[in-house]
Amino acid sequence: MSAPTSFLHNVLNPHSVAIIGASENTQKFGGRVMNFILQHGFKGRILPVNPAAGSILGIPAYASIEDAPGPIDVALIAVPGMQLEAAVEACGKARITACVVLAADFAEAGLDGANRQANLVRIALQHGVRLIGPNCLGFINPALRLALTSSVALAVAPMPIGNIGLVSQSGSLMAALISHAQDLGTGFSIAASVGNQADLEICDFIEYFLTDPATHAICVYVEGLKDGPRFLQLAARCRAAGKPLLVVKAGFSEAGARITRSHTASLAGSDAAWTAACHEHAVVLLDDPEALIQCADFLIRFGAPAGDGVAAMSPSGGTVAITADRLAASGLRLADLSENTQRELHQIVPATRPVNPLDVGGLARDVGLTSARDCYRLLADDPDTGVVLIVVATTPQLDAKVRLWAELAVARGKPTVILLTPGALVDSARGILRELHCPFTNRMDDALRVVKAAINYGAALRLLPTTASIPDNFGEVAAYCAPASALTESETKQLLSLAGITVTRDLQVHAAANAVAAARALGYPVVLKLSSRTLTHKSEVGGVALDLRTDDAVAMAWQRIATRLTAVEPASVLECVIQPMITGGIELIVGSRWDQQFGALVLVGAGGIWAETLRDTQCALAPLSSQRALELVRKLRIFPVLAGARGQAGADLDALIDTIVRVSWLAATLGARLAELDINPLLVKPPGQGVVALDARATLYPRS
């Protein structure tokens, strides 16, 4: 049940807070919370609750929450798990509508914990109470000087005030990012830990941040969403509102993907749906929590870059060389500086030096600052420069140059990343950048993450939304049913044919003589393939015989397949299909799978027996427009071959795009019924000759 933003506003901007389980002992959760609230100077009413204390840290305490004078906007509960249900019920009776629950050992601890958590939520809702947590560390509101948290990170004052809204499933990670923001000179409107999201969840906080004028960028650490479609709706609203939404998602490993029967499910692992969803909704997806805050700070200050060209400079020749290598390895493009820019730069630095990245070291001291200013101006103003990367190494006038570059970047609003490499030697420069509110990083990896994420965000914003139009003659697809959930190749091809996708002519055969007769009817050469619902990858069990050109070859192939099937599944009855041997094209894989969070996902990539070896794939949420399908194909490493590299014929891209669109609508139409679909290989013929599905299989559940 989602929470109104007005409700969360009252919770996160309270006038009064109660601490149930309050203490003076900082070794206890309730003791740290009390100390932090007082240390940071919260001006609202503070109501400690502890039956054994008359006052705590000089503030009158109450034996129970019912005794505390209202109204109370939020209560933090810092009592053992066995006392939680009674505490929540008491809050409801005291007309407190929101509680922060710190205690752990709930759903994260197994089935018994999940049952306790569900019961806690039930009791809370019965009494009109909404919960943040359990298994969380609370939240901070720096503008109110409110540290409603037990995290030791708040022992450092003051809290970092800024325009980043942070919601995290991990309390410890929230605390680490608070400390990191202090180091960077940035800060938060609100930073909240939601733990298990038993009630109030990540999307509730994103929606609040959307309406909060103090929040200019939204950062999320998530392990699992409760409502994928709602997240996408909010992402679209963030894009429309101009508030960057930045996410670090845990659990991208293949181990978390639970690979199923198909190639598609293997290739489109646990991260594919997330990546596709984020790309299509301009969500900035990062793999490092510190970069989450750094990139948010950068986008708040400079906005999205207008282009993807990177202009880099450093006062160290060695650093320039390393920077060039690292940019290339990261897939970032060096800006192609205009002839005029190059000419003016070579009036400042020797003509023998490359201009991008630019070595600005070794210049005369009397022109050092002037040269630093002019080089930055020329790089930043070049039409192909989207981002300037300044890698600061040891150099004369270091602090003065850093100040100059930062002032220029802030004044011009040019997206600029300043990387400080020399460690503690440049602590004074870091102080200057904090003073000027100019973003900086301390590691090359962080700088490159920020640059790449910002450029990708800008590119996503520039993509115009496209409407995916359903292909003609698609009405029979939804009505298709099969005798079992695991479709055979022939059954899958029947479904593909209904969707307007070209397939081979297949004849089902049950004996060697039938196979020979079918081969004659089709005309040689032919392919003989095992037909099975249980053996997913036929070639791996010797169930495929290619390029058969005579009756004897077909009969012998039948016998070989029969022998191998007996070894693998002794009780099985052999069934095969005969189909024409078709060559002359490029083999791809096109497929779909159903994702529980985001729905139908489409995959395209290099296919055939090398599909999972090469892993050259792209994914998107279904359905797709032709434009989006072409974008996926262009991103494949194999695309130059499809386009006709080195004078080769290339492939029928129009037919390929049409097939991808039809697969996307097939997946979108059948929805959760179509668990997975493989067309592998899809043979893409030369231009004008179309495509043909040579092999296919699917898992299709009956209509409910």
Whether 450 shows a pLDDT value over 90: the answer reads: yes
Q: Encode pLDDT of 89-113 as tens digits.
A: 999 999 999 999 999 888 888 898 8
Pairing of strands 74-77, 16-20: parallel
CB 160 within 8 A of CB 181: yes
pLDDT band at 367 (very low <50, low <70, confident <90, very high): confident
pLDDT of residue 98: 97
- Helix, strand, or coil here: 30? helix
Supply 16's token pair.
């009064």
Predicted confidence band of residue 266 (pLDDT cuts 50, 70, 90): very low
Beta bridge partners of 44: none
**3-state helix/strand/coil string of 368-432:** HHHHHHHHHHHHHHCCCCCEEEEEECCCCCHHHHHHHHHHHHHHHCCCEEEEECCHHHHHHHHHH
In this predicted structure, what is the pLDDT of residue 269?
47
The rounded distance, in Å, linking the Cα atoms of 168 and 221 is 5
pLDDT score of 217 more than 70 = yes
Q: Is the pLDDT of residue 268 over 50?
A: no
Contact 20, 53 (CB under 8 A): no
Whether 264 has a pLDDT exceeding 80, the answer reads no
The helix (H) or strand (E) run that includes residue 559 is helix 551-568
d(CA 423, CA 307): 31
Residue-wise pLDDT for 164-206, tens only, equals: 999 999 999 999 999 999 999 999 999 999 999 999 999 999 9
* Rounded Cα–Cα distance for residues 606 and 433 (Å): 47
pLDDT at 42: 96
Mean confidence (pLDDT) of the chain: 92
Q: Which of 145, 190, 192 is nearest to 40 (CA)?
A: 145
What is the pLDDT averaged over residues 220-245?
94
Mapped onto helix, strand or coil, the DSSP state of residue 474 is coil
pLDDT over 70 (residue 263): no
Q: Span 355-374, mean pLDDT?
A: 88
Residues 612 and 678: their CA atoms lie apart, in Å, by 13
Distance, in Å, from the CA atom of 654 to the CA atom of 559, rounded to the nearest integer, reads: 41
pLDDT of residue 519: 96
Q: What is the pLDDT of residue 252?
A: 64
Per-residue model confidence (pLDDT) at position 260: 35
Model pLDDT for residues 15-65, shown as the tens digit of each residue? 999 999 999 999 999 999 999 999 999 999 999 999 987 899 999 999 999
Give mean pLDDT, residues 336-342.
97
Q: What is the pTM of this model?
A: 0.90
pLDDT digit string, tens, across residues 397-446: 999 999 999 999 999 999 999 999 988 889 999 999 999 999 999 999 99
Q: What is the pLDDT of residues 565-621, one digit of tens each?
A: 888 888 778 899 999 999 989 999 999 999 988 999 999 999 887 777 778 899 999
Q: How far is CA 15 from the centre of its chain?
A: 36
Q: What is the pLDDT of residue 257?
A: 39
pLDDT at 309 (0 to 100): 98
**DSSP for 172-211?**
HHHHHHHHHHHHHT--EEEEEE-TT-SSS-HHHHHHHHHH
Residue 462 burial (10 A CB sphere; 0-12, 13-18, 19+): exposed
pLDDT of residue 270: 59
| 135 vs 107, more confident | 135
Residue 254 has pLDDT above 80, yes or no: no
Residue ranges of domains in the chain, CATH in brackets: 5-296 (3.40.50.720), 315-434 (no CATH), 505-580 (3.30.1490.20), 586-700 (3.30.470.20)
Q: Is the pLDDT of residue 623 over 80?
A: yes
**pLDDT attached to residue 538:** 83
Query: What are the residues facing 62 on neighbouring strands?
Result: 49
Q: Say whether pLDDT at 680 is over 80.
A: yes
pLDDT tens for each residue of 491-533:
999 999 999 999 999 999 999 999 999 999 999 999 999 998 8
pLDDT reported for residue 253: 56
Q: What is the pLDDT of residue 481?
A: 87
- Tell me the residue type at 172: S
Q: Percent of the chain, pLDDT > 70?
A: 97
Average pLDDT over residues 275-284: 92
Q: What is the pLDDT, as a whole number, of residue 262?
A: 45
